[in-house]
Structure 1
Amino acid sequence: MFGGSIHRVNVSGGGTHYFNKIDGKYIDLTSDQFTLYGIPLAYEPNQEINREYCGKNPNTLARYRLLASRVAEEIKKVNS
């Protein structure tokens, strides 16, 4: 949608978190799920992930599609 790359970090307490890097800047539209509960989130070090990888895990793919649809909805609101 906007280009850039997808990155992944390990999260304190287990699990992983995905975010984007566009024009050299990290863009994380879902970071509030961590800051809201005081969970530390560091963007370095991270691993760049190819888009095909995101489609291999059904849970990751579902979250990816949900985020993409929500971003598209917000863009429609701004443009209308």
Structure 2
Amino acid sequence: MHEVSLIYEVLVHVEQASRQEGMDKVTTIKLTIGNQMMVMPEALQFAFDTLRKEPAAEAELKWEIVEGNDFYIDYIEGEEASD
């Protein structure tokens, strides 16, 4: 089940990016996934639900399946930390 390792890496990058952008909370993570990556969306969602933590603890995971071998974070939405 490589979905777990994929989501783990996504969450590491999301945490780093959210910190760099001053986000206190991540609300949406959108992935682009190539159909040749053999990713099972249900397993991906399960791994996300199991591994997510702050700042993405309540984030919604979205994805788009495209032709090819792509797998990348399309965008991250969130809320900036209030001072």
TM over 0.5: no
Higher relative contact order (CA closer than 8 Å, sequence separation 6+):
2
Which one has the bigger strand percentage?
2
Q: TM-score range by the shorter chain?
A: under 0.3
Q: What is the TM-score normalised by the length of structure 2?
A: 0.26
Greater gyration radius = 1
